[in-house]
C-alpha cells in the first residue's frame, strides 16, 4: 500500500459498532491507547473489518486544532 499521508499508525481493531449509515472503529495502537474513527457502513463492509484484525489509522489533515474553556 502506498499513500501520500505521512501519519500512518498501525494497530489492531478492538471494536466495531455498526449502524445503518456509519461504523465506529476503535483501533488500539498501543496498550491502553486507542484511536476511534467514524467511517461509512459501506466502507466497513468493503474492507471486511473484523475484531483483532491488523489495520492502520491514516491521518491526513491540513490542520489540527486544540481548544480549551
Does residue 64 fall inside a structural domain?
no
Give 12-57 pLDDT, tens digit per residue. 999 999 999 999 999 999 999 999 999 999 999 999 999 999 999 9
Alpha carbons 25 and 36: distance in angstroms, whole number: 6
At 67 the pLDDT is: 80
At 65 the pLDDT is: 75
Half-sphere exposure of 48 (CA within 13 A, CB side): 0
| Between 56 and 5, residue with greater pLDDT | 56
CB 45 within 8 A of CB 38: no
Indicate whether 1 pLDDT > 90: no
What letter does residue 66 receive in the DSSP assignment?
-
What is the domain range of residue 31? 7-58
At 66 the pLDDT is: 73
- Looking at the 3D structure of the chain, how many domains does it have? 1
Q: Phi then psi for 60, rounded to 5 degrees?
A: -135, 120
Does residue 31 fall inside a structural domain?
yes
Q: Is the pTM of this model over 0.85?
A: no
**Domain CATH number, residue 47:** 2.40.50.100
Alpha carbons 35 and 57: distance in angstroms, whole number: 7
Amino acid at each position: 500500500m502506498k499513500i501520500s499521508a505521512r501519519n500512518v499508525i498501525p494497530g489492531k481493531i478492538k471494536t466495531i459498532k455498526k449502524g445503518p449509515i456509519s461504523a465506529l472503529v476503535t483501533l488500539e495502537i498501543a496498550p491502553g491507547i486507542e484511536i476511534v474513527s467514524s467511517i461509512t457502513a459501506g466502507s466497513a463492509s468493503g474492507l471486511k473489518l473484523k475484531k483483532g484484525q491488523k489495520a492502520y489509522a491514516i491521518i491526513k489533515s491540513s490542520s489540527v486544532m486544540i481548544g480549551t474553556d
